[in-house]
């Protein structure tokens, strides 16, 4: 990489942080309609960055939050890279657990604390600043770059697939890049080659038409909260295996090679437990902790609501009870097949006197990216340049549905280059991004343009 680019990055590091703070101050919570104007403000802010660099830039309307598209395609013969990221963030609740307010970015112990710091404003922004460094020094990029930055990632990317389908020609590329994952650990950069899919549901039960006195009616009427507990309890057995019929039918077994590769990673289980404050781990029998998180499907309840939730005691037999819960899927499992099997499974267990409604939210299949490709090799060299250390290959338990979409609609694989850390508190209070990793990410990204530029189109 040209020394001038590296020098520019060093000289402008403080400004990059300040600019990221500007973006983090915008509460672009896509899930909550009262932040709608802020979500748009974040989109415009990101578009402004691209425009200032002279990129062709559009803020594209959708039926939901807008998508920012930008491109800089002035390297004929070189590959075209599509960078995906998102400018929306998770809701910050519970607010009282934040040490400093979620939308007042604060530096502390080498970290930047704010909602969205790592997921995904901070990580996405590394690919903007890396382009700036090339343009301001060399005058152009050694590759063609396109950006697709959406505002609905945290609410299921409802309008993204349609946009990609409608704009497939414009989005045509050779490889995609996403930074929305984590390193394997501090000082251990990683390239993520596998992700789990997801199917997210809400189960709503209705018993009597209003809350009843539990003394007068208790014992004679099906209680939706009791029924909910029974139905949810039936989903997983004591060995951690999901009980919905057919659930494991299409699950690809873990290969011996992959199991060994996972086992060889420097991983300290005691440290893992300490980091999340538990004194024991628990999951599907017959698999290691890493295997369970990266390569095995599972089911977690995400939320429960029913009856009296205030202080003290209230003797109510609740009219309603509901749960949000989701399955993590591995490659080959079909979210649609699961949905209909689940509906049956729950209906069979819904007691008389209770009406049930099952709402299916977003679903996405799991994905595995091939390790043997020139793009992957280029990414390895770029990350090594940025972090001073060869990345390890890992999978992740989370889902990035767009990776499947890119594969299916654009016919390309995605490089998942994660600059985050596992304890970054994404989706939790006190989300943070390690500032040194922010700068290493920018440097890796700048090197990636060089490495990809060396490849023939």
Residues 111-150 that bind its own copies (CB under 8 A): none
Binding mask 76-105 for its own copies (x = CB under 8 A): --------------xx-x---x--------
Q: How many residues bind its own copies, per CB under 8 A? A: 96
Rule CB under 8 A: is residue 276 a binding residue for its own copies? yes
Site membership for its own copies, residue 230 (CB under 8 A): yes
Residue 48 pairs with which residues in a beta bridge? Answer: none
Closest to 21 in 3D by CA, of 102, 90, 127: 102
Residue (81 or 195) nearer to its own copies, CB: 195
Q: CB of 335: closest distance to its own copies in angstroms?
A: 13
**In the complex with its own copies, which residue's Cβ is closer, 2 or 397?**
397
Check binding of 217 to its own copies (CB under 8 A): yes
Tell me the pairing of strands 175-178 and 414-418: parallel
> Whole-number minimum distance, CB 222 to its own copies, in Å?
4
Note if 88 is an active site residue.
yes
Binding of residue 214 to its own copies (CB under 8 A):
yes
Active site residue 211: no
**What does 195-233 look like in DSSP terms, one character per residue?**
E-EEEEEEEEEE-SSS-EEHHHHTTTS--HHHHHHHHHH
Tokens, residue 319: 């009219």
Which region among 170-178, 255-263, 283-291, 443-451 touches its own copies (by CB under 8 A)? 283-291
Show contacts with its own copies in window 27-86 (CB under 8 A): 31-32
Interacting residue with its own copies among 212, 338, 394, 417 (CB under 8 A): 212
Buried b (16+ CB within 10 A) or exposed e, 65-92: bbbbbbbbeebeebbbbbbbbbbbbbbb
Q: Which residues are within 8 A (CB) of 283 and not within 5 positions of it... i.e. 6 or more apart?
A: 240, 289, 292, 296, 298
Q: Is 252 in the site for its own copies (CB under 8 A)?
A: no
Please identify which of the residues 88, 120, 174, 258 carries the catalytic annotation: 88
Q: Work out whether 215 is an interface residue with its own copies (CB under 8 A).
A: yes
Residue 218 in the binding site for its own copies (CB under 8 A): yes
Q: How far is the CB of 446 from its own copies (least distance, A)?
A: 28
Q: Per CB under 8 A, does 312 bind its own copies?
A: yes
DSSP assignment of 397-449 equals SS--THHHHIIIII---EEEEE-B-TTS-TTSTT-EEEHHHHHHHHHHHHHHH
Query: Can residue 310 be called a binding residue for its own copies (CB under 8 A)?
Result: yes
Could you write out the DSSP letters of every residue in 166-183? HTTTTT--SEEEE--SB-
Q: Which of 132, 152, 153, 450 is catalytic?
A: 153
Q: Which of 259, 361, 368, 409 binds its own copies (CB under 8 A)?
A: 361
Q: How far is CA 340 from CA 13, 337, 345, 359, in A?
A: 51, 6, 9, 11
Q: Which residues does the annotation mark as catalytic?
A: 88, 153
């Amino acid at each position: 990489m040209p020394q001038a680019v590296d020098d520019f990055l060093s000289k402008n590091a403080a400004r990059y942080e300040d600019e990221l703070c500007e973006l983090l101050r915008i509460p672009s919570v896509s899930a909550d309609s009262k932040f709608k104007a802020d979500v748009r403000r974040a989109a415009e802010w990101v578009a402004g960055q691209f425009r200032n660099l002279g990129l062709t830039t559009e803020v594209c309307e959708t039926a939901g939050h807008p998508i920012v598209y930008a491109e800089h395609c002035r390297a004929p013969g070189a590959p075209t890279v599509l960078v995906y990221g998102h400018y929306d963030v998770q809701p910050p609740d519970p607010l009282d657990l934040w040490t400093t307010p979620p939308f007042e970015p604060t530096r502390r112990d080498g970290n930047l604390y704010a909602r969205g710091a790592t997921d995904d404003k901070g990580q996405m922004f590394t690919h903007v600043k890396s382009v700036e460094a090339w343009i301001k020094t060399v005058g152009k990029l050694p590759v063609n770059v396109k950006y697709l930055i959406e505002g609905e990632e945290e609410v299921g990317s409802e309008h993204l697939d349609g946009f990609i389908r409608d704009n497939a020609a414009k989005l045509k590329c050779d490889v995609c890049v996403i930074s929305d994952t984590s390193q394997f650990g501090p000082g251990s950069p990683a390239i993520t080659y596998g992700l789990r899919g997801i199917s997210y549901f809400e189960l709503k039960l209705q018993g009597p038409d209003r809350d009843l006195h539990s003394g007068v009616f208790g014992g004679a009427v099906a209680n939706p909260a009791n029924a909910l507990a029974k139905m949810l309890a039936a989903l997983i057995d004591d060995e951690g295996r999901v009980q919905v019929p057919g659930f494991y039918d299409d699950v690809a077994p873990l290969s011996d090679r992959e199991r060994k590769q996972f086992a060889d990673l420097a991983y300290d289980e005691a440290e893992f437990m300490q980091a999340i404050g538990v004194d024991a781990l628990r999951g599907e029998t017959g698999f290691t902790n890493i295997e369970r998180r990266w390569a095995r499907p599972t089911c977690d309840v995400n939320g429960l609501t029913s009856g009296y939730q205030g202080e003290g005691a209230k003797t109510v037999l609740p009219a309603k009870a509901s749960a949000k819960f989701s399955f993590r899927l591995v490659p080959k499992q079909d979210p649609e097949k699961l949905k209909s099997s689940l509906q049956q499974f729950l209906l069979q267990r819904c007691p008389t006197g209770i009406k049930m409604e099952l709402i299916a939210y977003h679903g996405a299949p799991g994905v595995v990216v091939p390790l043997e490709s020139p793009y992957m090799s280029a990414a390895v060299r770029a990350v090594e340049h940025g972090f001073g250390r060869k990345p390890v290959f890992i999978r992740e338990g989370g889902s990035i549905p767009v990776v499947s979409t890119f594969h299916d609609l654009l016919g390309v694989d995605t490089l998942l280059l994660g600059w985050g850390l596992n304890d970054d508190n994404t989706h939790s209070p006190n989300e943070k991004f390690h500032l040194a990793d922010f700068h290493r990410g920018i440097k890796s990204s700048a090197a990636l343009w060089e490495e990809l530029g060396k490849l023939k189109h």
